[in-house]
Amino acid sequence: MLKLTGVTHVYPNGTRALDDVALEVPKGMFGLLGPNGAGKSSLMRCIATLQTPASGCIQFGDIDVIREPEKLRATLGYLPQDFGVYPRVSAYDLLDHLAVLKGIAGRGERRDTVETLLAQVNLWDVRKKAVAGFSGGMRQRFGIAQALIGQPRLIIVDEPTAGLDPEERNRFNNLLAEIGENVVVILSTHIVEDVADLCPRMAIINAGRIIATGSPAELMESLAGRIWQKSIRKDALADYRERFEVISSRLRGGETLINVVASASPEEGFRAVEPALEDLYFATLSHERRVAA
């Protein structure tokens, strides 16, 4: 179990990236949803000991993460949003080098580790190819391989499927789901579908604060019977936004399809729809904006 209490972080320019974050993350896949700039990466960096929060406590099992960062690093696997590679080093040699840095000194143990991981992430056939020449999806799978060195108990992946094509995204998500059966995996993303597909528990972060937490099904129950949908003319969107709580809109067949939160049908022409996780996400952010206004 990973537990955060009162975690606050302020950057030197005065930006409050995290504001009194409290969160409990059990074993399994845990989704952290939020828009760009919400504080997701700052929170992941604090958990990964890459920066120290201004205040608060982070506990992973019996490890005080802030006071004992080396203990956490020994059991951590981290795939950041962007990671660099040596331009001419093969996947096998780079993973072998990273295993040495992770403390696997024995040549035989290291060979077994590297070969097992390359097979697990389906990169064995390209093990002699330079990682710099990999596709985006292959690089992300290599990133997971390096994150799994040393059999970590806590794995953090930050925006792992951004920019991947549908096939690679599906392959990567299947790999994450397999890994998440036995350890704590935090999936930090702004892609709602990834959390819906993978995570039995989740949280939504905005402006550095956790604004919702629970299982997707439990959280969506709060919207049961409250999501209404209508197809309107594109030039009528501003009027509908003025009169109703429009949480999302998208073009379809030359018209605009809007989803609205309301306790009853807003007006003639709306139909009730089952809430999706996307509706929960947009409705939660919409409520936060209205409260802040």
pLDDT number for residue 291 = 80
Q: How far apart are CA 171 and CA 173, in angstroms?
A: 6
Report the predicted TM-score, pTM, of the whole model to 2 decimal places: 0.88
In the chain, where the domains are located: 1-75+153-219, 85-150, 221-292
Once rounded to an integer, what is the mean pLDDT over residues 172-194? 89
Mean pLDDT of all residues in 161-187: 86
Sign of CA dihedral 241, 243, 245, 248: negative
Q: Is the pLDDT confidence value at 108 over 70?
A: yes
163 pLDDT higher than 80: no
Q: Can you tell me the distance from the alpha carbon of 44 to that of 82, in angstroms, rounded to the nearest whole number?
A: 13
253: pLDDT confidence band, cut at 50, 70 and 90?
confident
Q: Identify the pLDDT of residue 231.
A: 95
Q: What is the mean pLDDT of the chain?
A: 92
Cα–Cα distance between 282 and 67 in angstroms, integer?
A: 37
**pLDDT the model gives residue 293:** 67
CATH number of 1-75+153-219: 3.40.50.740, 3.10.310.10, 1.10.760.10, 3.40.50.300? 3.40.50.300
The sign of the torsion formed by the CA atoms of 95, 101, 103, 108 equals positive
Determine the pLDDT at residue 254.
80
Q: Structure tokens of 287?
A: 């409520």
3-state secondary structure of 193: helix
Instruction: State the pLDDT confidence band at 140, using cuts at 50, 70 and 90.
Output: confident
Position 236 scores a pLDDT of 93
pLDDT tens readout for residues 72-105 = 999 999 988 777 777 789 999 999 999 998 888 8
Q: Which two tokens stand for residue 273?
A: 């729809």
Instruction: Give which of 48, 32, 49 is closest to 40, Cα–Cα.
Output: 32
Give the three-state DSSP class for 61: coil
Maximum pairwise Cα distance, the chain: 72
pLDDT digits (tens, 9 = 90+) for 186-244: 999 888 988 998 999 999 999 999 999 999 999 999 999 999 999 999 899 999 999 99
Give me the mean pLDDT over the 257-274 stretch: 96
